[in-house]
Amino acid sequence: MGIMICETHGRTGIGLVSPLLRTACIDNHRVERDQIVAVHVTMLDDDPPKIFWLDSSAAARLAVPADRMLDLDDDKVDTLFAGLEPVCWRCFDDWLRLNGVDTSPPP
């Protein structure tokens, strides 16, 4: 995706998340687990899908389905990307775990 400079982790990768989740991560505020939505997008055929995280309000507003895999060609992907903001993926991963989200890869 891209690279950013994080105060905690230095040079690190960018995660794209909804504005509410980005703010909650940066401010270290809790969000109820049922309000955190993972949207899976297949970017390239040989790569595992990327996960983009939204709060439930943003998912509803953007009408992005969380119940199925999106392809990069799907009309909803443009809408999804337009509603996301960058965050240090390592900070966000730590924040997700603190909020009860299992971030381990599927078996």
17 forms beta bridges with 53, 85
Q: Which two tokens stand for residue 47?
A: 């790569």
Is residue 62 included in any domain, yes or no? yes
Q: Which two tokens stand for residue 33?
A: 């687990």
Render the burial of 95-105: b for 16+ CB within 10 Å, e for the rest: bbeebeeeeee
Res 106: pLDDT: 58
The domain tally of the chain equals 1
Distance CA 83, CA 29 (A): 20
Q: Is 39 exposed, middle or buried (0-12, 13-18, 19+ CB in 10 A)?
A: buried
pLDDT band at 97 (very low <50, low <70, confident <90, very high): very high
pLDDT band at 41 (very low <50, low <70, confident <90, very high): confident
Is residue 58 included in any domain, yes or no? yes
Is residue 49 included in any domain, yes or no? yes
Is residue 22 included in any domain, yes or no? yes
Is residue 104 included in any domain, yes or no? no
Structural domain boundaries enclosing 11 = 3-98
- 33, 52, 74, 76 from 68: Cα distances, Å: 19, 13, 12, 12
Calculate the average pLDDT of the chain.
86
Distance CA 105, CA 58 (A): 24
